[in-house]
Structure 1
Amino acid sequence: MEHVFNIFRLGIKELRSLLRDPMMLMLIVYAFSLDVYVAATGIPETLYKAPIAIVDEDQSPLSNRITSAFYPPHFTRPAMVGLHEVDKGMDSGSYTFALDIPPDFQRDMLANRHPTIQLNVDATSMTQAFTGGGYIQQIVQGEVADFAAGTRSAAPSPVDLALRARFNPNLTQSWFASLMEIINNVTMLSIVLTGAALIREREHGTIEHLLVMPITPFEIMASKVWAMGLVVLLACAFALVIVVQGTLQVPIEGSIALFLAGAGLHLFATTSMGIFLGTIARSMPQFGLLMMLVLLPLQLLSGGMTPRESMPGFVQIAMLAAPTTHFVKMAQAILYRGAGFDVVWPQFLAIIVIGGIFFTVALTRFRRTISTMA
């Protein structure tokens, strides 16, 4: 019991040290409040007010119909320009899209001559260009098909497609972005807080005071793990309930308690990783550089931003050793699809095993670092 009391008291000391660090407190508050809100609402969910210009060289009912199909909020009101104005407008960035309807377009379409409409796209805005190109293609094809159906009989399609989107029926970007931002911030803050706590003690000289006390390296490390992990876990719960459910009105299908239990296991692994990085770095700038090398692969290759199935095979296998891979899969299953423990228990088990390995490695490194200081 003496070991437990020591771990508890040292953890309280860590919490008090954190309360005296206003920059870290601001980082925690921002990461689980404004950052989540901005990630969910800052990027438009779909194409939004994209500037488009149209060159109508046909001046037919069909070309007028196509022109009138472009309206807010996806596009701005089309700017009707001459052919000589297209290059100047594209070069100046006034138009992202420029649609050129050729002469005799309606007549050639009715005569089955397969006329071509030219679409110029400013691809410097890659995401908007890709999405907008698909939108414009659908709009033009739809208007042409409706116009053709009014002038001649069309054979009915032999197949109907009934589309049902599960878990996010409206394909709302904020539903995905807000929760994934919380998942990423749990990993980032847990590594930052524990690593910074260790470096802060080394820079302030308080680590030498701990070395002369009747406590073990295990107790020192365990206190940092539970104290910083608790802070991140409480902030995560606040973000889920207040920001995601309350402010953004995002429905959470599964059990928040089950997710927080999985997050607690994940924090056991990532806080250990933070201490390991803190023993390697000798200053906060060095720690920041190590964070860039470690955090970016953890977030980009864990399956949260892109499906793991689209990654090279060796990357998929290598990332199984990272706790974020299993945490992202577990979190998405619980929060998006309402999965229970009977579905996510393999991820729980994997995180426990990986966390145990990380904790052991970090503790070994921590003991070695303390012995050299002593």
Structure 2
Amino acid sequence: MKLANILNLGIKELRGLARDPALLLLIVYAFTLNIYTAATAAPESLNKAAISIVDEDRSPLSARIVDAFYPPHFLTPKLIDPSVMDQRMNAGLDTFVLDIPPNFQRDLLAGKAPSIQLNVDATRMTQAFSGGRYIQEIVSGEIDAFVDRGERLAPAPVQLSLRARFNPELSQAWFGAINEVISTVTMLSIILTGAALIREREHGTIEHLLVMPVTPTEIMLGKVWSMGLVVLLATMYSLFVVVQGALDVPLQGSMVLFLLGAALQLVAATCMGIFLATVAGSMPQFGLLLMLVLLPLQILSGGMTPRESMPDVIQWIMSAAPNTHFVIMAQAVLFRNAGLDVVWPQILALAAIAAVFFVLSLRRFRAFLR
């Protein structure tokens, strides 16, 4: 095995990638706009929900309830007449309309149980699901404070003190951006290596390689290092420019340690891409196989939901997947500033899995070239 051959074969792969505008566009999109939209487009918490209020009571209590709604959870509420309430809901101008009935404060102080009507546009499912709970808590809190009139209640025997660590503002952008980068690393490394091999087979250049004085190991290593380098450079750009720059998400841990784990993940993922490309007969078949592999890797690796909430058999099966250990390592380093003394089990697991995947893919690749 000659290092010069591996270097030249990798440069050949980079030149082939540079002549493929579709893959170049995919790389740029995946590590820029895709990261940004994943962090900002669909927040899990309520954000800038449109709300209007019909204040038919015009009392100090109703004014207090109106003043309790403010950004960032809600837009500044609009005071509207009851006659336009249905019209605004039908036009989609309001997600929530709170109707405070006449004599609400008087009936409440008289010991009655008046009701407030909340109209919700349920077609906006994310906001409708969480917004009703937000509004109920806000209205209940304002009513309780008004009825108590500043009187001190007896303190509870136990008080819960909440401290949000690593993400003190509970911002979805912090979690979504970094996890999308982690997912994109695996996706692009599999796609690029698999597409490079299938492109060579479709263009007939794989036969040219077979008559040259190069070995299958050199051919495979050339693809691994070249495509892995592209994804690694794109990952660094995404973290520093998109995540840390555009989204203002702080990166807590050592970037050198993260890039070490990412490099091991790239070896395993690129080998997986080569293996899938030798199984697939064409690019459409490769795309179908990619769906069968990527979906379990992304969903069951712990990037979307904690592994502890999954069945034990799923956790045991996914422990053999490189994604599982990469997600644990990357989140620990980038979220919690973990060092090598914490993530060394994941580093060793990634190295072992990458070695196994390389051996299996090389055997399959040799059989494919025969």
CA shift, 1:347, in A, is: 0.8
Shift in CA distance, 114/326, structure 1 to aligned 2, threshold 3 Å: farther
Aligned to 1:101: 100
CA–CA distance in structure 2, aligned partners of residues 109 and 86 of structure 1: 24
**Is contact 2:43–2:173 with CA below 8 Å preserved after alignment?**
no
CA–CA distance in structure 2, aligned partners of residues 252 and 72 of structure 1: 27
Unaligned runs of 5+ in 1: none
CA–CA distance in structure 1, aligned partners of residues 101 and 157 of structure 2: 33
**Is contact 1:301–1:319 with CA below 8 Å preserved after alignment?**
yes
Aligned to 1:184: 183
Q: Give the AA of the match of 1:256.
A: M
1:306 counterpart SS class: coil
- What is the 5 A alignment of 1:1-374? 2-44=1-43, 46-81=45-80, 86=85, 89-150=88-149, 154-371=153-370
Equivalences, count: 370
CA–CA distance in structure 2, aligned partners of residues 249 and 60 of structure 1: 43
CA–CA distance in structure 1, aligned partners of residues 248 and 99 of structure 2: 42
**Is contact 1:15–1:227 with CA below 8 Å preserved after alignment?**
yes
Unaligned runs of 5+ in 2: none
CA–CA distance in structure 1, aligned partners of residues 194 and 207 of structure 2: 17
CA shift, 1:88, in A, is: 5.2
CA shift, 1:211, in A, is: 1.3
Shift in CA distance, 269/151, structure 1 to aligned 2, threshold 3 Å: closer
Per-residue CA distance 1:89-126 (angstroms, 9 max, x = gap) = 44443322232334543344334544443333223222
CA–CA distance in structure 1, aligned partners of residues 71 and 238 of structure 2: 33
CA–CA distance in structure 2, aligned partners of residues 362 and 116 of structure 1: 67
Q: What's the TM-score, normalizing by structure 2? A: 0.91
Q: Give the AA of the match of 2:217.
A: F
CA–CA distance in structure 1, aligned partners of residues 269 and 105 of structure 2: 63
Shift in CA distance, 345/114, structure 1 to aligned 2, threshold 3 Å: farther
- Which has the higher mean CA deviation after the structures are superposed, 65-74 or 102-111? 102-111
CA–CA distance in structure 2, aligned partners of residues 205 and 334 of structure 1: 44
2:118 counterpart SS class: strand
Per-residue CA distance 1:229-252 (angstroms, 9 max, x = gap) = 111111112222233233333221
- Which has the higher mean CA deviation after the structures are superposed, 111-120 or 267-276? 111-120
CA–CA distance in structure 2, aligned partners of residues 6 and 332 of structure 1: 37
CA–CA distance in structure 2, aligned partners of residues 152 and 182 of structure 1: 51
CA–CA distance in structure 2, aligned partners of residues 364 and 84 of structure 1: 74
CA shift, 1:151, in A, is: 6.8
1:120 counterpart SS class: strand
**Is contact 1:45–1:174 with CA below 8 Å preserved after alignment?**
no
2:319 counterpart SS class: helix
CA–CA distance in structure 2, aligned partners of residues 122 and 348 of structure 1: 48
Q: Give the AA of the match of 2:336.
A: R
Shift in CA distance, 359/114, structure 1 to aligned 2, threshold 3 Å: farther
2:161 counterpart SS class: coil
